[in-house]
Amino acid sequence: MQPQQKLSGIFTPNLVPYDSKGEINEPELRRYIDWLIEKGVHGLYPNGSTGEFTRFTPEERRRIVAIIADQTKGRVPILAGAAEANVRETIKACEYYHGLGIRAVAIVAPFYYKLSPASVYAYFKEIGDNTPIDVTLYNIPMFASPIDVPTIQRLSEECEKIVAIKDSSGDIPNMIRMIQAVRPNRPDFSFLTGWDAALMPLLLSGADGGTNASSGVVPELTRKLYDLTMSAQLDEARRVQYDLLTLFDTMIYSAEFPEGFRAAVELRGFQMGQGRQPITSEQQTDISTLSRTLQCMLSQHGFTNEPIGGCATGITEELGSNDVSQIVQHVVAELNRRNLI
């Protein structure tokens, strides 16, 4: 049996459109998947945080992956979120996705209960010893038990089926530590960043790609950034990274996640519907305001038309000094929380 190709490139954590009853809008989801592939994403990543996997039932999660697998028809690989409430159900999900021909699954460390490194190791070791499909570890310490470097190294050496890690911490030095610890003994092991703001620096540090929420909105930009960085066209890549950072910060810090991304996908021509998380009328007003800001940003790249009434010249004028200050405060607070500054 031929070894599977190493996971690399941009895997899009796709959103799920809802219909008027709050159910999965299958025709719109299929249209969205075709569009993402046509725009050049390297792969798809259903049932991730951006895809709101916790807001679906296990049956719905499987249906989402089945729809996407059917629509993709092997055009790009699929990395499917397979985390369930316990290790037994997670292994069942692995078996189901293996039957669909999915390339690999991504599994977040146990959440709700904060576990020790020993328990995190035991959890993934049980999965790694019993899964029929390749597994990507998913490290997102703001929501789940962290996966530390010694645990990643040990799992990579003991479990052939554990082939990658997706890290959404945004901690660049720690990702480099992972690469240093694992790559000498597992050159086939993949490192994917889930933090869009660090895509270029992590690619330059040895990462293989990313699972980036922005790629569900501007797949053209994330693919361009990847190609420019990997071909060492660094001045141009840096400009794209700066543009992507501005858009990413606006989408993630100006509304409850992932509502900013849903609003932006609407601007690309898709009917995303009302999400399952109830929001207040004030929040809806905020999203409408954010949508206009995002439309101005996207129009600068030719992805949308300008909103009625046009846009102010320059992002700072469009946002207003108070808005810019608020975004900066959010970013600084987040970096402080992660002990990055």
Per run of 10 residues, the mean pLDDT along the chain (length 341 residues) is 81 96 97 98 96 95 98 98 95 98 96 92 98 97 94 98 96 96 97 96 97 96 97 97 94 90 94 90 89 91 87 52 53 53 56
- Percentage of the chain lying above the pLDDT 90 cut: 77
pLDDT digits (tens, 9 = 90+) for 252-288: 988 889 999 999 999 999 999 988 898 888 898 889 8
Q: Architecture of domain 9-338 in CATH?
A: Alpha-Beta Barrel (3.20)
Give the type of residue at 115: L
| Residues ≥6 apart with Cβ < 8 Å to 173 | none
Q: Which residues participate in catalysis according to the annotation?
A: 138, 166
User: Given this model, what pLDDT does residue 318 score?
Assistant: 42
Name the token pair of 283: 């929040």
Name the token pair of 326: 């608020």
Calpha distance 5→65 (Å, rounded): 20
Calpha distance 249→254 (Å, rounded): 8
Calpha distance 20→246 (Å, rounded): 32
Name the token pair of 5: 């190709």
- What is the rounded end-to-end Cα distance, in angstroms, of the chain? 48
Calpha distance 9→203 (Å, rounded): 10
Q: How many residues does the chain have?
A: 341
Can you list the positions of beta strands (E) in the chain?
A: 9-12, 43-44, 79-81, 104-108, 134-139, 162-167, 190-193, 209-210
Q: At 267, phi and psi to the nearest 5?
A: -70, -20
> Is 50 annotated among the ligand-binding residues?
yes
Tell me the whole-structure pTM to 2 decimals: 0.88
Contact present, 250 and 297 (Cβ < 8 Å): yes
User: Given this model, what pLDDT does residue 317 score?
Assistant: 41
Q: At what angle do helices 219-230 and 234-253 cross, to 10 degrees?
A: 150
User: Given this model, what pLDDT does residue 326 score?
Assistant: 54
If you search the block for the tokens 């361009």, which residue do you land on?
224
User: Given this model, what pLDDT does residue 301 score?
Assistant: 87
Bond from prior residue into 258 cis (ω within 30 degrees of 0): yes
| Residues ≥6 apart with Cβ < 8 Å to 218 | 244, 247, 298, 301, 303
